[in-house]
Amino acid sequence: MTNFVQLILNLLIFPGGLFAVALGLFLMGIDRKIAARLQRRVGPPVYQPFIDLVKLTRKEMVVPGTAHLQAFWLAPLLGFAGMMAAVTLIPIAGVYQGFKYSGDLLVLLYLLALPAIALMIGGSASSSPFGAVGFSREMVMMMSYELPLLVVLVTIALKVGLATGGIATFSLSEIVQFQLENGALLFDYTMLPALLAFLVFIPGNMGVVPFDIPEAETEIVEGPILEYSGTGLALFKLMTSLKMIVVLGLAIALFFPTPLGKNFLVNLLWFFLKCLVLMVIAITIVRTSTGRVRMDQAFKFYLRYPTVLALISLVLTLLQR
């Protein structure tokens, strides 16, 4: 019974639920502020995402007359719920263990696909032509960034699995445990290409410039989420901020989970710092220094560079054995 209560608490309060939402929104606020300073603007206050969220939840949600009602409602809920579940799978070294379940990395991989699928469902259910274009773009985008991600995950699973005597381990907690004992993978030269591939995967998955193609504001007016307002839009925003925590947290768990000490709060702060640095590198700087690429260009890019980088790591790992 305590296990069950613990699970619910993990899901709703910490590290999922309230905590993750607050952290995600806060990180987004910082991201906006830094981006603004980089563009020599003043920028909104750091708490702006919270204000936006409260404002959106108090607004009416308008459903287009031609939309498929159930699917239109289902999409944001699906995306949000999927990300809520995903956050609980992310271990924070020295703070939170994650699930001691041998396949949580695979579950996470599937859960990570949910936001894109939710956007696709929402886009096509909204019956707007922009939503339809957004649908197809989201799908192509997903296909392009999922492959390098998969190769990176397999590489790390193999690396840890081979080192611990098995073949491959798809357990995040084991991967973290391995790194706590043998040093972070960040400092392993064979993993550097994989790390680079993962860094390139982050802006694609987060849908920021230059890979915000499915939601390109000036091209297809936000695409799938064009018709969303009020609560639906708020859920999508929450989904994005949670996704940020999941993606950044996953990167930290995979490459640099090392805690700072034994103190719970210090470790939590350390995790936040790592998230912040990673976000600035992989999201804020990238999105302020580039322009949006076209779908075909993005697809070619992802098949070419990150996939090759990830494969190099895979080969190096296998050779090292």
Q: Does 280 bind other proteins (CB under 8 A)?
A: no
Q: Does 85 bind other proteins (CB under 8 A)?
A: no
Number of residues that bind other proteins (CB under 8 A): 29
CA–CA separation, 166 vs 157, rounded Å? 10
Residue from 311, 239, 294, 234 nearest 58 by CA: 234
Which stretch in 12-20, 48-56, 87-95, 125-133 sits in contact with other proteins by CB under 8 A?
A: 125-133
Which stretch in 24-32, 79-87, 128-136, 180-188 sits in contact with other proteins by CB under 8 A?
A: 128-136
Nearer CB in complex with other proteins: 94/223: 223
**Are 243 and 27 spatial neighbours (Cβ–Cβ below 8 Å)?**
no
Q: Which residue in the set 138, 146, 174, 212 belongs to the binding site for other proteins (CB under 8 A)?
A: 212
**Are 3 and 9 spatial neighbours (Cβ–Cβ below 8 Å)?**
no
Min CB(321)–other proteins separation in Å: 39
Nearer CB in complex with other proteins: 66/290: 290
3-state secondary structure the chain: CHHHHHHHHHHHCCCCHHHHHHHHHHHHHHHHHHHHHHCCCCCCCCCHHHHHHHHHHCCCCCCCCCCCHHHHHHHHHHHHHHHHHHHHHCCECCCECCCCCCCHHHHHHHHHHHHHHHHHHHHHHCCCHHHHHHHHHHHHHHHHHHHHHHHHHHHHHHHHHHHCCCCCCCCHHHHHHHHHHHCCHHHCHHHHHHHHHHHHHHHHHHCCCCCCHHHCHHHHCCHHHCCCCHHHHHHHHHHHHHHHHHHHHHHHHHHCCCCCCCCHHHHHHHHHHHHHHHHHHHHHHHHHHCCCCCHHHHHHHHHHHHHHHHHHHHHHHHHHC
Which stretch in 50-58, 86-94, 199-207, 212-220 sits in contact with other proteins by CB under 8 A?
A: 212-220
Q: Does 42 bind other proteins (CB under 8 A)?
A: no
Q: Does 66 bind other proteins (CB under 8 A)?
A: no
Give the residue carrying structure tokens 């390139």. Answer: 200
Nearer CB in complex with other proteins: 125/133: 133
Q: Does 288 bind other proteins (CB under 8 A)?
A: yes
Q: Does 290 bind other proteins (CB under 8 A)?
A: yes
Q: Does 43 bind other proteins (CB under 8 A)?
A: no
Q: Does 139 bind other proteins (CB under 8 A)?
A: no
Which stretch in 145-153, 163-171, 197-205, 215-223 sits in contact with other proteins by CB under 8 A?
A: 215-223
Q: Which residue in the set 11, 106, 109, 221 belongs to the binding site for other proteins (CB under 8 A)?
A: 221
Nearer CB in complex with other proteins: 81/285: 285
Q: Does 40 bind other proteins (CB under 8 A)?
A: yes
Q: Does 65 bind other proteins (CB under 8 A)?
A: no
Q: Does 41 bind other proteins (CB under 8 A)?
A: yes
Min CB(48)–other proteins separation in Å: 17
Q: Which residues bind other proteins (CB under 8 A)?
A: 38-41, 129-130, 132-133, 136, 209-210, 212-213, 216-221, 288-297
